[in-house]
Chains A and B, each alone.
Chain A
């Protein structure tokens, strides 16, 4: 889906003046940004740039120092948003001592989703063959897919995915990105973080983060054009050098 200015709907997320400290370290210092709805937005930046903290703030599990985070017009983390936002943490947040299906069945009841939803997300994440296995006995890539499957339950309108494709083989990675775009085409807003620059090209829009600040907020093509570079990594470097 091409992003075209002027036709943008109400943003999915609006962050303004966000300050977050973790420990004694300021992670985000006055961050402001918007995340448009119905697109796959890539949150790209090196480890330690504040991606996870921003995602936690959007989901509403992060203690904020100041600033506001609004999701679909409501304060992030408010009760009405809890079944509208799906969140996948960096490490798979699933129960290792339950089977894949038992995990999904439990989270389905918590989310109040229908029984058939479990089969749908198992198929979407290609976990059919391992659905009766204990989650702890699966490979890292499979476990992160179980975690993703949980987030898909109940078809949330906003998916916040923290490095969902780490450690996956290229075929599966391609399939998941295709899934992300299918979801976006159906109206879901996705925020996908990655520290792998080559994944940036697959996003509709990019937020480049470094040191808790947004370096760029553009489409991949726009970013390349603005920096006069041919790949995202070079664009990133050019932006850092420009700023210093």
Chain B
């Protein structure tokens, strides 16, 4: 692994995206539009105030997971992945390069989404706005990292797509949005508590309501960062140079 190759890969991914302005626009705006839609649906109720923070976690997470796994899927399908892996590119160079490139996009996307929820949709944030954005960004990068892990694990294109329902949907279902996690059956609650998206939702909800101190939020943030690091390392280790 070398810094030059990692940065070259990140630069290459960003140059590719830059050639497609519509994708950039969609990437940056879609989560905000969806948050706006949820706010509109619940406009005459107090519901948005309680689910709004979870939406800031949810939409960027899903969008980044999808975009990342589809981009790497495309890399697989066009044969460039196979070509790169026959070259002296470290598997970590590739995974980290992608993480850096999409991480940068995640910073922009989540900042826009969080600010949109607060300023346009009128979500009240009792705690620190900076902390809210920090958690939202980490959560979007988590989406990228899991997307990379999914496509590294997969050996075929079909498998890549199957990982979306497998890795993302349970996190949404068990994250406490549909039913608070403490009301779930015991086993599901334990699983839900461990999943990374739950930590993001908890942290964002805590900042919004200022129900916990900053140390709690920072602790949750650390858990998310650990998941990101774990997913990136695991993705580098499981990416196969040889395919059937």
Contacts and interface: CB of A to CB of B under 8 A. Distances in A.
Contact of B86 (A59, A64, A102): A59
Interface of A: 21-23, 59-64, 77, 79, 82-83, 85, 87, 89, 91-98, 102, 106-107, 109-112, 134, 150
B89 interface: yes
Contacts of B19: 97-98, 134
B15 A63 contact: no
Contact of A93 (B11, B20, B78): B78
Contacts of B165: none
Contacts of A111: 87-88
Given A94-B80, A111-B87, A63 B16 contact: no
A85 B88 CA distance: 10
B88 A96 contact: no
Interface residues of B, number: 25
A102 to B, nearest CB: 6
Given A62-B243, A110-B8, A82 B80 contact: no
Contact of B243 (A23, A63, A150): A63
Contacts of A61: 82, 85-86, 241-243
Contacts of B87: 82-83, 107, 110-111
Given A77-B241, A98-B16, A89 B79 contact: yes
A79 B84 CA distance: 13
Contacts of A107: 87
Nearest to B82: A61
A62 B89 CA distance: 17
B66 to A, nearest CB: 18
